[in-house]
Structure 1
Amino acid sequence: MYDVVVAGGGPVGSSAARFCSEKGLKTLLIEEHAGFGRPVQCAGLLSRKAFLECGVSERSVLNEVSGARIVSGLKTDLFFDAKKTMAYVVDRSALDLEMAQNAAKAGADVLLKTSVTGFRDGFVLTTGINGKKSVRCRMVIAADGPRSVFTRFLGMKRAPVFLSGIQAEIFADKPPNIVELHPYASPDFFGWVIPSNDKAARIGLCGERDVYKRFLRFFGRFEGSNIHLVTGTIPIGVMPKTYGNRVLFCGDAGGFAKPTSGGGVYTGIRTAVHASDTALKCCERDNFSDSSLSGYERSWKKDIGRELAFGMTLFKMRKKISDKTVENLCSCMNNPEIIDEIVKYGDMDRPREVIKRMVLKPSVMKAFGGVAKAELCDLLIGSTVLKKRM
């Protein structure tokens, strides 16, 4: 019998399996595909902090990024460069494989090309290369992506929003250290250009609707042949309850992608940390009641809950922001003082601090016009002080 079965062999699942094994828990990692990291469903841009959370070597790193350009789509761009590595562009296949290998080295058993088909009475039901099996376990960590089968098994409510994404890789002559963000490319999210090296770039976008049409329009702005195409789904908004019936939901399975960027590696691995801690406590106490599992939700909320809630408010605001407002914001923020603050306080994984500093500036507030000022003020400072300035 296993203490923990981890469903899903992406970065979050492999991390959870490694953490549980390092804590002495007998752990099984189940992955439905024949290998790790395929198919690729990620833009492959990881903040420096997220990459460190992965606990891997630099073998998967293809490029290093130091700055960004926000392209308004009208006439003004906002450019900043930290002059040091802020993010890595990675080969997700290589990254995922190394993380799974680390889980195995820590003692986790691994089962590939195996799908989870059910969960009842302490057994995870599977079918795959070894036929149909029933795996007995004390609890489960579900890290099986945005369409997690365990949400269906348990009748759990999923994330409130799902974005579709498309990304192509082309040969392109772009500055290798600068990422481009294109808000106009997708009105409810954004498009991006990520240099994978000095000769190629990843061009993509996410949105709630008309994604393929938007992508074709955006892709048409660039010269070059498509040499690699990926698609994916990103859950936005954490599910109402992230535990229940001996199961903890981590990463995309629980809706933990960052609403500000769609990235899920950093937040997902943080949930894996808290899930493994909770699993150890439950196994030591031999108590797997919902009351015992609830400690997981308290832990991740204390760690990343405030950032995720803040990001969700920004995501909702994004739908109210026109191309003209983006233009105004780029224009008013395009001065040395503000750019210095962005470089100093910017954090891809925890953006609340830098955005708070930006919004407190009267020029930035003016650029927002009448867009959701009250909601943003309430979230950032919890008072009416800023409202009186408006």
Structure 2
Amino acid sequence: MAAKRILLGITGGIAAYKSAELVRLLKKAGLEVRVVMTRGAEAFITPLTFQALSGEPVRTSLLDPEAEAGMGHIELAKWADQVVVAPASADFLARLAQGMADDLLTTVCCATEAPIAVAPAMNQAMWKNFRTQRNVQLLTEDPQITLWGPDQGEQACGDTGPGRMLEPEALARLVMASPEPPATGVLAGRRLVITAGPTREPIDPVRYISNHSSGKMGYAIARAAAAAGARVLLVSGPVNLPAPEGVEVRPVVTAEDMLRASERAVTEGCDVFIATAAVADYRPENCAGDKIKKTSEAMSLALVRNPDTLATIAARPDAPFTVGFAAETTDVARYATDKMQRKKLNMIVANDVSAPGLGFNSDQNAVTVFWPEGQESIGPDSKQAIAERLVTLIASHSDRIENA
């Protein structure tokens, strides 16, 4: 197992009751577990529950004179092979992102050199909130921190959407992940970076510019690539989709966020870059600090060009095999091939988003794939079936270039 000693942090939220089952599963697997609870967590479930399940005293306070006589927070930080915070509330994500150390759990996170995994759990509106996503972006830029989830579905408040904590069984599998056996498949040993979903460009704290992209095509390709043996990193705009199994997801919000996350991912190592995201071409020149009031019949909004993530990656000296997507409404082939040549792409996947029942927000699609020497049409078919064929094509053409 990758880690033997797990420090489990529990923050305030109804999902805290699921953490008891997580402790049971980890103990059953033979791991040592110690629990740190925030004051908010104690409002939902008692420390005695976790003491009984873990067989260890539960720590709840940074200012415990008996524990801190021996510098208990430093001892906990050094003891852990891995820190897991489940559930991780919006408040905890904000404090962790800012490097705060105002309670025992955040202090341990500041002091530990162990990897930290956080499993977000909150209402779907809180998860989608601009400030929460800004904090999430900061966390994804921290090489010590990994986000596990969130999942989507029905929530305790009655809402449905992203924000649910991953189930204890899924978290236990992530904690107990053994070193992976050698990958098999047409993309075995390759590292893929995929962008997916829309971006949101804020007008003020309430409003934003976006588009109809659901992220379904990018997520389907991520699943297909992982099944084909690739190590996949998915840079995702705001979507209502669960993280594909075996895929690392780095959430972003704006086009500038997507560029930074993509450049970082490619720098970390990338053989193939697939840009399915529908990135906003323009953003408001200025984002108002307060909600803009409705004071007149018309309002003008000055827009400026966003950075071009796809062109930036393709122009790098160390550019990977780069695949673009073109969502068009007319003259699809001409616009797509022009984009491929202009941005110096290895391949481009084009689809007509004006076709009824296909493309944006649909589970079906039909695409034409272009490369410098040829083309192939795929579909109409399910996006997952199209993704699997695309992965085979990309593997074949990237192999040919690598071995040329």
Please say whether Structure 1 and Structure 2 have the same fold, judged by a TM-score greater than 0.5: no
Normalised by the length of structure 1, the TM-score is: 0.31
| Bigger share in helix | 1
Q: TM-score, normalised by structure 2?
A: 0.31
